Chain A
């Protein structure tokens, strides 16, 4: 094993993360099937470290399915099979070098609808990931909670009511709480599945700003139906589309500016101009 620093205890940790070798994740011929039915077929691309990579495509093109294969969330689904190669740095995600729990603590996830743990307070929500991973020391938890909440632009509005239930927050605040909860574990990669689709324009804008600010801390992969959002926040963009048999395929992967200004595939252009999907 090469000795690349992941997160270190000293300093802010930000410089250390920046040293990660590119790419952060590597997908090679990734296919996902549910009970024999292909949902995603042969997707290959690299996710650049400390960049935002967006995945766009019509409904049913397998964006969620592909995203969830990256942190092995399909392991829970009976009949789901993931083929191909997925790497986090130089670790094989589906190999057995790294236990799934440790892998998932290095790849955070934010879901389509805010899903804070309803029985926990705001504070307990933020530090839940750390506790799940065996960290108990109050000083570490307090520091991580503050740092994650600041990064998620939520600190100022919740610092005086950390004991309140998470459900007392607005939808937008709950989603930012979920982002803070994911960030507190200091993941290298953050997966976001349409994180703003259930939010109002103001909360959406805050979360978009956040993604750009978070770039030097984590690598972000975001699924979105909102073209402007993909264009605004992402550096690279993957366009997926269903084939004849309705399995999602990668049509084009390129820097976002290229996808939106000068795509190589005519289907990409059609989709971006809203001609189908």
Chain B
């Protein structure tokens, strides 16, 4: 019986199958080793990226952790004296200042960024390409230039330092980031939804607002929170424009305090207590950024799950 089979001409399909299987078996070990080497390399790179972050957070906790008390967070600053070197008061004014300044910046940057994102996602003209390029350049600009811009055009025209001028500088920082995020999120909305809307007799603008925008919202929110996280820690745009305040200041058209400004001033101040406070504020900024990042992810994940 076997003799008969052996005499048959070889089946090319079977031959090829045997060949593929034998080569796959021979190389399987080598491929497995190569793959784990690659994973090892990737992990090392990841570690190199993450380790500095942990060192920074560790240093901040060691040097600034003890400063973060309820009093520190809620009271306004007090100037230490030679006899009471440890009196430092709090940073409530800076927390409020940052909150107001960033909120106003977001109120300007979010609608602007979303509208620009909508425009860019729906047009392919020269204009749109120019705008996209401009936005990319804006994200790469040293942020101090935005501060100088706000100084020249806002502070000198309004003839006063103000939280508002700082908001404008930060809005310019945030807008291109939001624009990019919005464009990406809007472009990833399936084309067939737009077509379904138009086929029902809707205007393009209505389809954009009622159909496309809601689907893209999680992505846009993520972009907004990441832009906020970036803005909240920026010192350079505020430097020449925000002025200073040691009181709770709600009015954005007055001079204000802000967290990064406070770190900046305290770190070059005279007393040890002020240096510690600078570390404390640094720690607080890191916490805020981490919280914003985490909420960006959570909100996006939640909204995506909501509709499945």
Binding site for B on A (CB under 8 A): 71, 73, 76, 78, 101-109, 111, 113, 115, 117-120, 128-129, 131-133, 165, 167, 178, 181-182, 185
Whether B199 and A132, one on each chain, are in contact in the complex, defined by CB atoms closer than 8 angstroms, is no
Residues of A within 8 A of B34 (CB): none
Question: Do the beta carbons of A104 and B200 come within 8 Å of each other?
Answer: yes
The answer to whether A105 touches B196 (Cβ under 8 A) is: no
- The one of A102, A105, A111, A185 that contacts B192, using a Cβ cutoff of 8 Å: A111
A61 to chain B, nearest CB (A): 21
Which of B166-174, B209-217, B229-237, B270-278 is found at the contact surface with chain A? B209-217
Count contacts on B: residues with CB < 8 A to the other chain.
Answer: 24
* B308 within 8 A of partner (CB): yes
Complex alpha-carbon distance, A181 and B217, angstroms: 23
CB distance from A145 to the nearest CB of B (A): 14
Add 7 more A-B contacts to A111-B196, A165-B306 (CB < 8 A).
A104-B198, A118-B307, A128-B211, A129-B201, A132-B202, A133-B201, A178-B196
How many A-B pairs have beta carbons closer than 8 Å: the answer is 81
Q: Do A117 and B206 have beta carbons less than 8 Å apart?
A: no
What's the minimum C-beta distance from B303 to chain A, rounded to whole angstroms? Answer: 9
Q: Distance in Å from the Cβ of A11 to the closest Cβ of chain B?
A: 23
Smallest distance from the beta carbon of A76 to chain B beta carbons, Å?
Answer: 7
Q: Which of A76, A103, A128, A185 contacts B210 (CB 8 A)?
A: A128
Enumerate chain B residues within 8 angstroms of A119, measured Cβ to Cβ.
211, 214-215, 217, 307
Name A73's contact: one of B198, B203, B217, B307 (CB within 8 Å).
Answer: B198
Asked if residues A117 and B193 are in contact (CB atoms below 8 Å), the reply is: yes
Residues of the A chain whose Cβ atoms lie less than 8 Å from the Cβ of B124:
78
> Could you tell me the distance between the alpha carbons of A128 and B308 in the complex, rounded to whole angstroms?
20
Minimum CB–CB distance from B216 to chain A (whole Å) comes to 10
User: B residues within 8 A CB of A78?
Assistant: 124
In the complex, 28 of the A-B residue pairs with CB atoms within 8 angstroms, ordered by the A residue number, are A73-B195, A76-B194, A101-B202, A101-B203, A102-B201, A103-B201, A104-B199, A108-B199, A108-B200, A109-B195, A109-B196, A109-B199, A111-B195, A115-B190, A115-B195, A117-B196, A117-B197, A118-B193, A119-B211, A120-B214, A128-B200, A131-B210, A132-B197, A132-B201, A165-B306, A165-B307, A181-B200, A185-B200
List, in ascending order, chain A residues with CB within 8 A of B195's CB.
Answer: 73, 76, 109, 111, 115
Q: Which of B259-299 contact A (CB under 8 A)?
A: none
Which of B192, B206, B307 has a CB less than 8 Å from the CB of A167?
Answer: B307
SS class, residues of chain B in contact with chain A: helix
Flag if B200 contacts A115 (CB, 8 Å): no
Would you call B307 and A101 a contact (CB within 8 A)? no
A79 to chain B, nearest CB (A): 11
User: CB-CB < 8 A to A181: which residues of B?
Assistant: 196, 200
Kindly name the residue among A101, A178, A185 whose own CB sees the greatest number of chain B CB atoms within 10 A: A101
Chain B's nearest CB lies how many Å from the CB of A77?
10
Q: How far is the CA of A129 from the CA of B210 in the complex (A)?
A: 11
Given the interface pairs A115-B190, A118-B307, A165-B307, the reply to whether A73 lies near B199 with Cβ below 8 Å is: yes
Known: A113-B192, A115-B190, A115-B193. A76 touches B198 (CB 8 A): yes
